[in-house]
Structure 1
Amino acid sequence: MSSAFFTREKDELVPAPHARGPWSPDMLHGRLLGGLAARAIEEHHAEPGLRFARLTVDLFRNSPLLPVTVETVLIRDGRRIRVADATISTAQGVIGRAGAVLLREGEHPEGERAIVTPAWDEPAPDGPPVTGTGWTPPFDLWRLTPWGEPGPARVWMRERYPLVDDEPLTPIVRLALAADFASPLSNAQPDGLRFINADYTMTLARPLEGELIGVEGTGHVGAGGVATGQVTMHDTAGPLGFCVVTAVANAVALGGR
């Protein structure tokens, strides 16, 4: 059997058992929807020199482990900007959507910047990833800071399985999968995660280099059961972008959106 999260059968993508998320054993993991959306938009609308600069993924409906379809549409195609959307559906209806902005590469302005995001001082991991108890992440994860403690939170991540069949993971698909981790990293408390994210928006200045992705939680604001969190995304070459999530309080451990 394939180790991929999804197997293509005609026009549908059939999830494997390990495509489930942490909230319920029969619930499709939301992070995979972002990966599928990025994959489809890249396949149909990307081209050399036209780079993903933003990807917004709306996760507004939970889904069981049902076959998935992804449709894309070109919204705008200009000389320097291209905008495309993706809709993710199952037999139960639409379960998510995504919007991407792709920008044309060009000459970068010289000179100093008033604000610069520094590279973090975390070397690439050289030990085994964490295994945890209960739901085990279907990706490699190295915790660099205590879970839910005050201050910036840091992890290294690396995908372990293909997304669809035996297709190699592209840099943007790897980032789209990792970006969903902005929610647990920015919203976690020492005794666990009490928020479930409704979306995430990733902004990128450059493509990913290699397979390792560093995620650094740098902010959380919450009130009245609603929260927003932010992270900086790194690779071994330095920072490459940011991700912001919105989340709703999830007092019941296995509650839904």
Structure 2
Amino acid sequence: MTTDRAGAFFRSSGDALHPQPEARGYWSASQIHGRLFGGLAARAVEHEHMEEGLVPARLTLDLFRGAPMAPVTVSTYRVRDGRRIRVVDVRIDADGEQVARAQVVLLRAGGKAVGEVWSGPSWVPPSADALGPPHLPATSGKFVPPFDVWRIDPGDGPSREDDAGPRRAVLRDTRPLVSGEPLTPLVRVGLAADYASPLANSGTHGLEFINADFTLRLSRLPGEESIGMESAGHMASDGIAVGQATLFDSLGAFGTCGVSALANVR
């Protein structure tokens, strides 16, 4: 169980969540990291709309603008509540302005397909404990992830940051999203989802695309603290890119994440 020993990303006060220094983003130290909004959307739905038998099958997050390091509020609205499907909209505001929205689809578990269906090759990611110290950026002054990450090439050795080939990574969050709250499997995968963009969209000059959204699709929740992720495709044209990644734990693949991104033209 993750504790506050590492320092939380947010501290709660009334209806607001106050970002801590660890919440600063990759692109700007004055903005909140976009990955945290996936975790906040997952947390809100879990607190207000989950029940036994429902599985979060899809979480789509739209990132509207950079969010300042200011108090954040999260509100939800149940759009549909049927016998086998529940749909929830999530609104995320920072400093009083909307910065992101999400939609989460919850499906009722039960039943099994009679026949066989093709699925892609599986990968069992190494456990975090077997991987040694987490990898850090090779160049000083770069953003240091406030979570554990190990980048692995397809042969299961360490990967280069400037490699244009397929990529794998193992991710593990070590600090709470909100002070005093343990990280649940849904919040963990909500936080991990944003990493599909650097995994799929990085190349020989590093990460040159800023993702505008992600769509996380899950057949089940992860069974461990660490999550394996494998790039499953990248395509770009005229400054617009789409990327895809597959998510794994020790039982095999359990989800995918797709992102849309814009070239970071400075």
Same fold (TM over 0.5): yes
Paired with 1:122 and 1:106, the residues of 2 have a C-alpha distance of 28
- Answer whether contact 1:89 1:96 (CA < 8 A) is retained: yes
Structure 1 segments of 4+ aligned residues over 4 angstroms from their partners: none
Deviation at 1:140, TM superposition (A): 0.4
Query: What is the TM-score normalised by the length of structure 2?
Result: 0.91
Query: What is the TM-score normalised by the length of structure 1?
Result: 0.94
Match of 1:19 in 2: 23
Match of 1:221 in 2: 235
Give per-residue Cα distances to partners, 1:48-78, cap 9 Å, x unaligned. 1001000000011101110000000000000
Match of 1:255 in 2: none
Deviation at 1:108, TM superposition (A): 1.3
- Asked whether 1:210 is paired with 2:228, we answer no
- Asked whether 1:8 is paired with 2:12, we answer yes
Match of 1:117 among 105, 115, 120: 120
Match of 1:128 among 118, 129, 133: 133
Deviation at 1:148, TM superposition (A): 4.6
Give per-residue Cα distances to partners, 1:186-223, cap 9 Å, x unaligned. 11012211100000000001111010101101101110
The gaps in structure 1 that reach 5 residues or longer are: 253-257
Number of equivalences: 251
- Answer whether contact 1:7 1:164 (CA < 8 A) is retained: yes
Deviation at 1:150, TM superposition (A): 3.6
Match of 2:46 among 29, 42, 45: 42
- Asked whether 1:106 is paired with 2:110, we answer yes
Deviation at 1:91, TM superposition (A): 2.2
- Answer whether contact 2:150 2:170 (CA < 8 A) is retained: yes
SS state at 1:123 partner: coil
Identity of aligned residues (%): 50
Deviation at 1:152, TM superposition (A): 2.2
The gaps in structure 2 that reach 5 residues or longer are: 154-158
Give per-residue Cα distances to partners, 1:61-119, cap 9 Å, x unaligned. 10111000000000000000000010000224100000000000002113321x21222
Deviation at 1:166, TM superposition (A): 1.5
Match of 2:212 in 1: 198
Give per-residue Cα distances to partners, 1:155-202, cap 9 Å, x unaligned. 000001000112011111100100000001111012211100000000
Deviation at 1:131, TM superposition (A): 2.3
